[in-house]
């Protein structure tokens, strides 16, 4: 099911009071380097440091009052756990965040600081899912998937929606591909608000399930995920995959050193703290420069949650 | 001589086509920490990574056609050299930048990359001044001081001018104090555009000439300048000092560890790359929290030109 235009526009209005309207920044130097006119939508400057706040807010706001009273639950060791905790707090809703015991203490503390009710499980997907299911059963809480949920997907697309409002003439829009929520939402925004704007995903070669799925026509899985882009290790889901197949033009894979080099350029030249995952689309643009030659390209800088004491440069 | 309201407003219009209108960002977490409502004017996102672009543009645009033809000259090993080079390039003017042989190669290369004509001298102030004087004599170029020039000062104030346009209700505005150009320009903007807005400077204790000058009523000098805030080592000048004496309320001194801690908070929480000098006013706010309790405070984040491989955290 492809959400309609109305759903996309309504999500924009729905999340607006609860998120920052993040700036769109440009750099002449990076334009020269890329040979293109690049507009960076700075979701690293979003509340809690990532676009994930948008999907979390949109999904919670779609719940009934009874559902809101019961709370929401997700399993995530990454940004979505923090996003759901903060979004829920802002809306006066309880958020149960299932996290693996292997999650860094700083991430667990961050979720707690945002008011999330943390449940620690064994570090296996099975244990996490079992724990989430039992919270749904016991508390009546609503399970929200970080990327494979229609309201989350449409919510994530509001970053691109704002970018098209600011820059209607984009010829390409690019985003990273992890679980598929952001790129699917971005593609929906491009479909309804872009002017023949092509959607291109960037993906680490070390976790290229989406690239392979795009070729094979079915969801693929990663055997190993040896990438610095820790937000992009997950695979696509059955709700976002059809949207991606329908509305995304291409997925470009990049090497680890290309990610690090693009990340460093954005830190140095744009003075923005971004996490490695955020650098992947710009790395893809630089890699396939010819394709984007003299084009107007929008890039979603997805987030900025990175350990300052553990930088790859 | 205190520039009048008209000069300040005209500078805003004059520089606008040549600079980024930088975003004003907020962070709920930093507000909670500071106990105040803080609006960060992000001049680290300005062209060439610092507010200095504004003063350079404003000063060059005030020259006659004959002067523009002859070019401009300054001596600077820091941001102003880069700013003048880039501003001059954008306006089709030659810029002679006198730099000490001790300047880091990366800074010399940056000036050259912006089209600056670099002249290397012995690393003494006397040698730099002699070199600048001889370029003025030989080429007829106009000397522009990085901070002690009325057009530069008024130009630097356009960052605050934009901030007051965006946030008219500020009760305090804060900036770092180095050579005095930024804080003097900020004070002028506050005087003409603020609504009884107090101006507070932040200064490293290790280079507290302005704090002492403010007390003694005459320009003071630093014997040593052992501070990480390398943009704030210079002393005030005879043109900006009277403006500062007249229009600045207070100068707050901060320790080195306070600067580093404030810098880290802004990197981590706001996802902004700022240089140590930029963190000084926020460090001052945190230090004297009571004074700013529940106040609306604007802070000029002056720049983001920092070596990523040499961070203090």
DSSP string, A181-208: HHHHHHHHHHHHHSSS-EEEEEEEGGG-
pLDDT at B106: 83
User: What per-residue confidence (pLDDT) applies to A125?
Assistant: 84
Are the Cβ atoms of A308 and B264 closer than 8 angstroms?
yes
Rounded Cα distance between B32 and A231, Å, is 28
Strand partners, A167: none
Residue B261's Cβ-count burial label (10 Å; 0-12, 13-18, 19+) is middle
Q: Is B274 on the interface with A (CB under 8 A)?
A: yes
pLDDT of residue B11: 98
Nearest to B210 by CA among B289, B280, B272: B280
pLDDT at B33 over 80: yes
What token pair was written down for A201? 């995903």
pLDDT tens, residue by residue, B230-272? 999 999 999 999 999 999 999 999 999 999 999 999 999 999 9
Q: Which residue of A has its CA nearest to B42?
A: A271
Residue A119 phi, psi dihedral angles, 5° rounding: -120, 120
Q: Please give the average per-residue pLDDT across B98-104, as a whole number.
A: 91
User: Cβ of A312 under 8 Å from any chain B Cβ?
Assistant: no
Decide if B272 touches A, using CB distance below 8 A: yes
Q: Mean pLDDT throughout B70-98? A: 95
B143 touches chain A (CB under 8 A): no
Is residue B105 very low, low, confident or very high in pLDDT (cuts 50, 70, 90)? confident
Torsion angle of C-alpha atoms A136, A137, A141, A142, degrees rounded to 10:
50
Q: What is the mean pLDDT of residues B36-55?
A: 97
Hey, are the CB atoms on A268 and B308 less than 8 Å from each other?
yes
Task: State residue B200's pLDDT score.
Answer: 98
Query: Does the ipTM surpass 0.95?
Result: no
Check B68, B76, B77, B107 and give the catalytic one: B77
Beta bridge pairs of residue A174: A200, A299
In degrees and rounded to multiples of 5, residue B135 shows phi and psi of -70, -40
pLDDT along chain A (313 residues), means of 10: 95 98 96 98 96 98 97 91 96 97 88 95 92 96 97 98 98 98 98 97 98 98 95 96 98 98 97 98 98 98 93 93
Cβ–Cβ gap A271/B271 under 8 Å? no
Give yes or no for residue B304 having a pLDDT over 90.
yes
Question: For an interface test with B, which of A271, A275, A301, A306 has the most B Cβ atoms less than 10 Å from its Cβ?
Answer: A271
- Tell me what pLDDT residue A1 has: 81
Q: Show the domains of chain B with their CATH numbers.
A: 5-50+151-310 (3.40.50.1100), 53-147 (3.40.50.1100)
Whole-number Cα distances in Å, B108 to B83, B93, B115, B161: 13, 19, 11, 31
CB contact under 8 A, B271 and A308: no
Cα–Cα dist B304/B278, whole Å: 8
What pTM, to 2 d.p., does this model score? 0.95
List Cβ neighbours of A166 (8 Å cut-off, separation of 6 or more): A24, A39
Least confident piece of the model among A244-248, B107-111, B187-191, B248-252: B107-111
**C-beta separation of B310 from B173 below 8 A:** no
Q: What average pLDDT does the segment B24-33 reach?
A: 96
pLDDT at B77 over 80: no
């Amino acid at each position: 099911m492809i959400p309609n235009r109305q759903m996309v526009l309504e999500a924009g209005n729905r999340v607006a009071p609860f998120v920052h309207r993040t700036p769109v920044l440009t750099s002449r130097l990076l334009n020269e380097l890329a040979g293109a006119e690049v507009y960076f939508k700075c979701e690293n400057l979003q509340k809690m440091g990532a676009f994930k706040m948008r999907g979390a807010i949109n999904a919670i706001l779609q719940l009934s009052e009874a559902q809101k009273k019961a709370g929401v639950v997700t399993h995530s060791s990454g940004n979505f756990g923090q996003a759901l905790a903060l979004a829920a707090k802002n809306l006066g809703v309880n958020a149960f965040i299932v996290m693996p015991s292997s999650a860094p203490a700083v991430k667990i503390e961050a979720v707690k600081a945002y008011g999330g009710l943390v449940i620690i499980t064994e570090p296996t997907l099975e244990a996490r899912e079992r724990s989430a299911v039992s919270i749904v059963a016991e508390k009546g809480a609503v399970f929200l998937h970080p990327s494979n949920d229609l309201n989350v997907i449409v919510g994530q697309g509001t970053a691109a929606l704002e970018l098209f409002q600011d820059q209607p003439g984009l010829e390409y829009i690019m985003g990273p591909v992890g679980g598929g929520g952001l790129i699917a939402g971005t593609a929906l925004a491009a479909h309804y608000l872009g002017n023949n704007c092509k959607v291109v995903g960037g993906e680490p070669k070390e976790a290229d399930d989406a690239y392979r799925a795009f070729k094979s026509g079915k969801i693929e899985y990663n055997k190993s995920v040896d990438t610095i882009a820790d937000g992009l290790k997950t695979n696509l889901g059955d709700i976002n995959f059809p949207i991606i197949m329908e509305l995304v033009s291409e997925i470009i894979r990049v090497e680890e050193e290309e990610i690090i080099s693009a990340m460093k350029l954005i830190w140095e030249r744009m003075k923005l703290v971004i996490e490695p995952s955020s650098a992947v689309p710009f790395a893809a643009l630089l890699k396939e420069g010819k394709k984007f030659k003299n084009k107007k390209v929008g890039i979603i800088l997805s987030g900025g949650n990175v350990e300052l004491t553990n930088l790859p440069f």
